[in-house]
Amino acid sequence: MQFFKLYHNIEEYYDIKRRINKPKWTQRTTNFVNFFMSLFLKDISNELKNVCAIDMHVHTAYSHCCFDPIEKTLIEANKRGLSGICIMDHHTTEGYKKALEIKPMLIEKGYLKNDFIIIPGIEYSTKDGHVGGLFCEKDIYFKKYSAKETVDQIHQMGGMAICVHPYRKKTGIKDLSKELTFDGVEEEAGSIFKKKYAILNKQITKDFNSAKFGSSDAHFYSFLGSCYTVFPEGTKTLEDIKEAILNKKTIAKESQNIKIIRNILGN
């Protein structure tokens, strides 16, 4: 959406200070969206009770297209009953680093559970569409490489390649997703709002030989947990997360809230 395109060239896109010091109207926009969505979305904390539910694709203000303060994102994720989130900002891990920095303060103030899990991720823009990487420390330059080349580079740096919202209309890699070696796939993708595309996404990805994720792709905190991933009981650490993904012991879930949104929007 051009409305959210707050950059004019690649240099501006990569300017982290520019990302976190957005124009004042962006905060008014996010306040309005979150207030409006809260009028009809349900409290999902009971839905997530007694399970290790992690939203595997969340943006922070360190993405050019997300306006919520990172503290608010963490607090709201905890309030909704999520056991953790994966911060998957566009082409940077600075949001993840900031989250780790402020986590002890939020725990001390009672805003965050002691064992709240924060997973490092990056969302890469390839020539073919978006590809996610978990446990990646380096960037893969904006739209310089194909999806296959990006997946290969993620694996070379010891990360896990994630097929994010493959059937999202503009940024999914679509049928190309079937040809690549992914460690995880967003079977339930909260950023696919149209019901027919969400159904297509689920039907095709269910046969992938990889871990299944539920992810909100939240750019506003009101969308946190719209889709989420259930990890095995006792999941507490990043090593536990890796093991569950490698052993395909994850379950992708669609919340009642995303069903409400999709029903409102129709097909």
pLDDT for 105-153, tens place per residue? Answer: 999 999 999 999 999 999 999 999 999 999 998 999 999 999 999 999 9
Poorest-pLDDT segment among 35-39, 76-80, 224-228: 35-39
Residue 165 sits at φ, ψ, to 5 deg, of 25, 60
Instruction: Give the chain's domain count.
Output: 1
Is the predicted pLDDT of residue 3 greater than 70, yes or no? no
Q: Is 136 left (phi over 0), alpha (psi -120 to 50) or beta?
A: beta
Residue 260 belongs to domain spanning: 44-84+107-265
Decide: 106 and 74 in contact? Cβ < 8 Å: yes
* Structure tokens, 117: 């899990």
Q: 100 lies in a domain?
A: no
Q: 218 lies in a domain?
A: yes
Task: Specify the pLDDT at position 2.
Answer: 47
Neighbours of 185 (CB within 10 A): 27
Specify burial of residue 77 (Cβ count, 10 A radius: 0-12, 13-18, 19+). Answer: buried
Q: 126 lies in a domain?
A: yes
